[in-house]
Amino acid sequence: MAAPSGVSASKQSTTDEMANGGLYSLAGKYGNLIIYAAAAVALIVTFVICLAIWGPGMAFPMEIGKQIGAKVDEWILWLTREGDWFFDGIKFVITKVLVAIEDFLLWLPWPVIIMAVTLLAWKVAGKSLGLFALIGLVLIGLMGRLPGGTSTLWEGSMETLALIIVAVGISLLIGLPMGVIGARNAIADSILRPILDGMQTMPSFVYLVPGILFFGLGNVPAVMATVIYAVAPVIRLTNLGIRQVSPEAVEAARSFGTTPLQMLTKVQIPMALPTIMAGINQTIMMALAMVVVASLVGAGGLGEAVLRALGRQEAGNSAIAGLAIVAIAVVIDRITQSVARERQRALIGD
Amino acid sequence: MNGTTTKHQIEIKNLWKIFGAQPERVFTEEYQHKSRAELQEELGVVVALRDVSFNVDSGQVFVVMGLSGSGKSTLVRCLTRLIENTLGDIYFGGDNIIQFSSDELVEFRRHKVAMVFQHFGLLPHRSVLDNVAYGLEVQGVDKETRHRKAKEAINTVGLAGWEEYYPREMSGGMQQRVGLARALAVDPEVLLMDEPFSSLDPLIRREMQDELINLQESMHKTIIFITHDLDEALKLGDRIVIMRDGEIIQEGTPDAIVTTPANDYVAEFVRDVSKAKVIRAETIMQEPASVVRESQSPQEAIVTLESQDSKVAFVVSEEDIVKGIVTATIADSLVQSDAPDLKNAIFDNAHMVSAKAILEDCIPIAAQADHPLAVVDHEGRLLGQIDRKDLLVGMAESGIDKVGKYGKE
């Protein structure tokens, strides 16, 4: 193996460091103090000069926000025009699926739904949740039609459920592979992380606007906004879960000739499943939280009921619709959490 | 084994592993002879393996011993390229595994080698049966076959009846049996064992060592066994290499390591080793003083005894197989009864030890015998003799120099 040219250079720097060792250690001792003092002096000088020349309320030399905002508007409009076929295609598919699910839920006789949910809650999470689900769903059904509404609270709940199912479905379709990619590839991870941070901290109203432009008003932009809002936890926790799989188990599997795909399906995903389930639970909860906000862009269901009560200043009706969301959220949350806990127990014992 | 010209199963040639950026900087005139500490200081690289070479023969238990940081775990991982080495070649049955494509490497890992890990590396979501069957499963073996083979392996390690349990429900010792069964289930040519018993408590550890020895007597696998425990190395190893700072500092049989340590470091290690547990009969045996053939006459036996001034002589067949001993008294009585040779007398009165027996096991036999012990090979052929004085000298500290003479292979 030939010596790369870098060898002599690195050698040079090592000797330099050694020669200057004495100086460095002296600077190190007072280094911070000198820097702080210099910064303080610079700050005071700037303060005095600015106040003397421009006085208080000093303006910035230029304003570029307007131009940038206009540029982004222009760009989104262009995208709306040129990507018409693309967005219409997405809208078509999502609408079809949404309507099918909603129609199916409303086609089922309500006692069947209530019994099925109650039994499921009882089986996975215990008697008390079963009872809670039973009472909650019956009460939702008994509420009937709230003033000004076009549908009953039960119908609104089913529409919301359909929205959640589609939004969570899309989130998992995107989130699980992204989580896997992020866990296995450091570069992908370093790109994904800041995007997820941004998606989670960005106020949700901000991406409602392009949603309307791309998809028009209605359930489809609501689903898309919900996906953007809710996809982060499943990506993050899938990523985390796979990273947390014991390196010993992975190494042992590798030593037996496991291919990367086998590693994923036979070792990493099964062992990460409790964490992935926790991510799915979080995604469902965030999707539910988005229901009311999404009604701003025309989503139907319980969110719409809350929004309408808000407009008519009816505290009682908004509380009823709000509590219906809470009841559905609690049941779904407890059921998915119990499933995750059971997986966890199966993996590591009590 | 691929019909190649190599006679060793595994040949490791000039293996280097350097952790850190631009490891090739080490292989320059200026740096290659610098110590590990100097290289870490000056280049910021860690030399985990430095020019390691050794050969392992088929059926051998080859122990790599060293303290933590000696590079032994890195070494065993390089053997299946779980860690990629920086320089050097590893020949496995004639194939250089360093040249393997990733597909060839997967095939190699699936069929040729299997590894047992210090912390077991079991899959917690799988039952014992499915853990043991894992290696076969990734090979694509159908469920029925792999469960049958897995059950055989589970029986071999003494875990019959535990198939449906999960690793978390088992003690450390039992989990490591699962790890061993998983490795045996794929019927590999070579077992790599990375400190398999280090995390077990001492009683279980000894039990597992004994069982491995028993298993190996019937399996005859090639085993590369990593340990930091000298007693374990001496107990299990046919050959031992001792590593320090990524370098091999001594390679040899357990006997040779104990009796002729290569340097002060090894000497310090073996200082407290009970020699009686390590040194084998063949190491301290002497040339047999007197030997007569069973075809010889009793008179000839008397002549031999007198001429060599011996009290006893070993009686051997034409194939050198020990038949017994003859003393002047016995020979006299044979002369009285007109025996033509020594054949007809049933001797069977010799006290024999195997050449591989450790001195500790020779002591009780020597205590019973009032003549030297015959040292024999596995077919009963006479190789040498040991008397009580040889035994004492062999175990005594002062005897090392003398023993060393015979300890050469």
The first and second tokens of residue A337, run together, are 């959490």
| Same-domain pairing of A23 and A139 | no
Whether residue A164 sits in one domain with residue A31: no
Minimal-distance CA residue of chain A relative to B118: A248
| Pairwise pLDDT comparison (B74 vs B255), residue with the higher score | B74
Hey, what's the torsion of the CAs at B150, B156, B162, B167, to 10 degrees? Answer: -80
Chain B residues with CB-CB distance to A267 below 8 A: 123
- Please answer whether residues B335 and B285 qualify as being in contact, where contact means their C-beta atoms are separated by less than 8 angstroms: no
Q: Which amino acid is at A334?
A: R
pLDDT at B400 exceeding the cut of 80: no
**Residue A229 in contact with residue A299, Cβ under 8 Å?**
no
Residues 6+ apart with CB under 8 A from A157: A140, A301, A302, A324, A328
**Residues of chain A with pLDDT > 90: what percent?**
58
Q: Do residues A197 and A301 share a domain?
A: yes
Q: What is the number of residues in chain A?
A: 350
Tell me the angle at which helices A315-348 and A153-184 cross, rounded to the nearest 10 degrees: 40
User: What's the pLDDT score for residue A2?
Assistant: 41
CB contact under 8 A, B27 and A256: no
Q: Looking at the structure, do residues A213 and A328 belong to the same domain, yes or no?
A: yes
The 3-class secondary structure across B312-339, one letter per residue, is EEEEECCCCEEEEEEEHHHHHHHHHCCC
Among A1-15, A237-251, B59-73, where is mean pLDDT lowest?
A1-15
Are A227 and A300 members of one domain? yes
- Rounded distance between C-alpha atoms, residue A157 and residue A154, angstroms: 5
Query: pLDDT tens digits for A81-130?
Result: 888 899 999 999 999 999 999 999 999 999 999 999 999 999 998 999 99
| Residue B407: predicted pLDDT | 40
Boundary-marking domain end, from A54, A73, A99: A54
Q: What are B202-216's pLDDT values in tens digits? A: 888 888 999 899 888
Instruction: Report the pLDDT value the prediction gives residue A25, as an integer from 0 to 100.
Output: 53
CA-based nearest distance A14→chain B, Å: 7
Answer yes or no: is A75 within a domain. Answer: no
CB contact under 8 A, B125 and A249: no
User: Can you tell me the mean pLDDT for B269-276?
Assistant: 79
Of the candidates B102, B74, B91, the residue with the CA atom closest to the CA atom of residue B18? B74
Does A1 map to a domain? Answer: no
Phi, psi of B313 (to 5 degrees): -130, 145
* B392 has a pLDDT exceeding 80: yes
The pLDDT value given to residue A15: 42
| Chain centre distance of CA A156 | 24
**What is the model's pTM?**
0.74
pLDDT at A200: 83
| B168 neighbourhood in chain A, CB within 8 Å | 348-349
Tell me, rounded to whole angstroms, the distance of Cα A288 from its chain centroid.
12
Predicted-complex ipTM score? 0.75
Beta-carbon contacts of B31 under 8 Å, excluding residues fewer than 6 positions away, are B25, B39, B42, B43
Q: Do domains B10-112+188-273 and B282-407 have the same CATH topology?
A: no
Instruction: Tell me whether residue A186 is in a domain.
Output: yes
Residue A8: inside a domain, yes or no?
A: no
Q: Give the gap in angstroms from C-alpha A179 to the nearest C-alpha of chain B.
A: 21
Report A:264-323 residues touching B (Cβ under 8 A): 266-267, 270-271, 273
Residues of A in contact with B192 (CB under 8 A): 255
Nearest to B87 among A1, A4, A262 (CB): A1
Average pLDDT over residues B12-20: 90
The Cβ of residue B337 has, within 10 Å, a number of other Cβ atoms equal to 10
The distance of A248 to chain B (nearest Cα, Å) reads 5
| Token pair listed for B346 | 């049933």
Which numeric CATH code is attached to B282-407?
Answer: 3.10.580.10
A-chain residue closest to B180, CA distance: A252
The alpha-carbon gap from A199 to the nearest alpha carbon of chain B, in Å, equals: 34
Cross-chain residue pair B106–A6, CB shorter than 8 Å: no
Mean per-residue pLDDT over chain A, rounded: 87
- Assess contact for B9 and B1: CB atoms under 8 A: yes
At which residue do the structure tokens 């496991």 appear?
A258
Task: Give bridge partners of residue B91 from the DSSP assignment.
Answer: B11, B96
pLDDT of amino acid A348? 64
Instruction: Answer with the residue of higher pLDDT: A236 or A341.
Output: A236
pLDDT of residue A283: 94
pLDDT band at A4 (very low <50, low <70, confident <90, very high): very low
pLDDT (tens digit per residue) in A314-348: 889 889 999 999 999 999 999 988 888 887 777 76
Task: Supply angle C-alpha B287, B293, B298, rounded to 5.
Answer: 115
User: Reduced to 3 states, what is the DSSP secondary structure of residue B384?
Assistant: strand
- Which chain A residue lies closest to B114 (C-alpha atoms)? A256
Residue A14: predicted pLDDT? 43
A42 with A161, same domain? no
Q: What is the CATH number of domain B10-112+188-273?
A: 3.40.50.300
CA-based nearest distance A25→chain B, Å = 18
Return the bridge partners of B251, or none: B241
Mean pLDDT is lowest, of A77-81, B202-206, B396-400, for B396-400
Pair A331, A132: CB distance under 8 Å: yes
Q: What residues in chain B have their Cβ under 8 A from chain A's Cβ atoms?
A: 22, 24-25, 27-30, 42-43, 80, 82, 87, 106-111, 113-115, 117, 119-125, 134-135, 137-139, 166, 168-169, 179, 182, 186, 192
In this prediction, residues B100-110 reach a mean pLDDT of 93
Distance CA B138, CA B257 (A): 41
Q: Bridge partners of B373?
A: B386
pLDDT reported for residue B201: 87
Same domain, A114 and A46: no
Cα–Cα distances (Å) from B3 to A60, A77, B57, B107, B113, in that order, read 82, 72, 15, 19, 19
Identify the three-state secondary structure at position B282.
helix
pLDDT of A102:
94
Cα torsion B70, B76, B79, B80: sign: negative
CB contact under 8 A, A262 and B138: yes
* Chain A partners within 8 Å of B42 (Cβ): 11, 14
- Is the per-residue pLDDT at B4 higher than 70? no
Strand partners, B358: B280
- Domain count of the fold of chain A: 2
Query: What pLDDT sits at residue A24?
Result: 53
- Do B295 and B343 form a contact (C-beta atoms < 8 A)? yes
Mean pLDDT of A211-221: 88
Domain co-membership, A27 together with A124: no
A187 and A318: one domain? yes
pLDDT in tens, A122-167: 999 899 999 999 999 999 999 988 877 788 999 999 999 999 999 9
CA-nearest residue of chain A to B106? Answer: A257
pLDDT at A9 over 50: no
Residue B279 in 3-state DSSP?
A: coil
Please, are residues B129 and B47 in contact by the beta-carbon 8 Å criterion?
Answer: no
Q: Is B399 a residue whose pLDDT tops 50?
A: no
The average pLDDT across A171-193 equals 93
Domain ranges of chain B: 10-112+188-273, 282-407
What range does the domain containing A101 cover?
A: 83-348
B244-272: pLDDT as tens digits: 989 999 999 888 888 888 888 888 888 87
Distance of CA B274 to the CA centre of its chain: 18
CATH number at residue A244: 1.10.3720.10
Phi and psi at residue B266, to the nearest 5°: -70, -40
- Looking at this protein, which amino acid is placed at residue A54? W
Residue B226 has pLDDT above 80, yes or no: yes
Residue A29 is predicted with a pLDDT of 65
Instruction: Label residue A5 by pLDDT band (50, 70, 90).
Output: very low
A262 and B135: CB-CB below 8 Å? no
Q: Write the DSSP assignment of B156-183 as a string of letters.
A: HTT-TT-TT--GGGS-HHHHHHHHHHHH
What pLDDT, in 10s, does the model give residues B134-172? 999 999 999 999 999 999 999 988 898 999 999 989 988
Strand arrangement, sheet containing B382-386: B352-354, B373-376, B382-386
Mutate which: B86, B123, B184, vs A, most A CBs within 10 A: B123
A145 and A48, same structural domain? no
